[in-house]
Amino acid sequence: MIEGDTPSFLSLIDNGLVAYMSPSFGGWGGRYIWRQPWLESRPYWTNGRSSRDTVVGTDGKNYTSDQATIWRWRQAYMHDFAARMEWTIADVAHANHNPSVVVNGQQGKAPLAIEARVGTPVTLDATGTTDPDGNTLQYAWFFYPEAGTGVPSASGGPGGSSGGGPAPAAPVAPPSSTANTTTTAGRGGTAPVQSAIPPAPPGGRPTPPPRVTITAASSLIATAMPNTAGTAHIILAVTDSGTPSLTSYRRVILTIK
């Protein structure tokens, strides 16, 4: 298996991410958008600017790329592959198996659809989640901004379209500001040419607020606070303490008004 060229069958594995419902959801096989590329006669599911995920790498830095939509799940799908190989030689009692996740009392792997309102907290409860091997479980609730209607705009309103929204543009400096200028003469021979690229604002580009804020994200019970209207995807990843450790997921889709 070559990372960055992960077979699409990984999206079909019933791990709770339900990426088979829509390639825009994102899963072990990546995340894609429906678009019609240049010179193509019809639209199809493919990569594009809005199909890129921003993920924190092992070095603590943020990376935005099409490949990040796959390697954000790297450890989980590699451990799952290793476990499947072990299942071919070990009996049930000596092999590890994936946890069974329950959210808000609902078993199974189908996504939970919840209607929410801005400013009204939503309780997310994984009580009832079990592990068939009796292993200790770790919980991680996280907001997946690219899978919904995108991150909010800098003004606080919804931004982007299904599959992720664009980052807000940096403020453009007015002509009288300290924008970069050059000493190269213009075509007229005397006037200096002002750069079209404004200087970076103090502190860097503005960071839009997340559509949803999650508290107690590593607990059995978490709280999601909707901040702006739109569609928000929240993922619960439950990882056991077996060898190799295995992860199961549940997707919660908030429709925020």
Residue 57, pLDDT score = 87
AA letter at 151: V
- Specify if 115 maps to a domain: yes
Q: Which tokens hold the place of 163?
A: 């599959």
Please say if the pLDDT value at position 164 is more than 90.
no
170 versus 43: the higher-pLDDT residue is 43
Cα diameter, the chain: 84
> How wide is the angle at C-alpha 23 spanned by C-alphas 21 and 25, nearest 5°?
75
- Specify if 240 maps to a domain: yes
- pLDDT tier, 207 (very low <50, low <70, confident <90, very high otherwise): low
Residue 188, pLDDT score = 52
- Specify if 202 maps to a domain: no
58 versus 184: the higher-pLDDT residue is 58
Residue 124, pLDDT score = 98
Angstrom distance (rounded) from CA 219 to CA 238? 10
Mean pLDDT computed over 100-114: 97
Mean pLDDT computed over 142-151: 86
Residue 168, pLDDT score = 29
Please say if the pLDDT value at position 175 is more than 90.
no
Q: Which domain holds residue 115?
A: 8-162+207-256
Does an H or E element contain 182, and which? strand 181-185
Residue 149, pLDDT score = 82
3-state secondary structure of 235: strand
Q: Which tokens hold the place of 92?
A: 């049930």
Angstrom distance (rounded) from CA 5 to CA 228? 35
Angstrom distance (rounded) from CA 206 to CA 19? 31
- Mean pLDDT, the chain, rounded, equals 81
Angstrom distance (rounded) from CA 15 to CA 122? 24
Please say if the pLDDT value at position 226 is more than 90.
yes
Each residue of 56-95: pLDDT tens digit?
A: 888 888 899 999 999 999 999 999 999 999 999 999 999 9
User: Which residues neighbour 83 within 8 Å (Cβ) at sequence distance 6 or greater?
Assistant: 95, 96, 97, 244, 246
- Specify if 174 maps to a domain: no
Q: What is the CATH number of the domain that holds 41?
A: 2.60.40.10
- Specify if 1 maps to a domain: no
Number of domains in the chain: 1
With a pLDDT cut of 70, the percent of the chain lying above it is 72
- Percent helix, strand, coil in the chain, to 5, is 15, 30, 55
> How wide is the angle at C-alpha 3 spanned by C-alphas 47 and 232, nearest 5°?
50
- Specify if 183 maps to a domain: no
- Specify if 190 maps to a domain: no
- Specify if 198 maps to a domain: no
Mean pLDDT computed over 42-66: 90
Residue 9, pLDDT score = 58
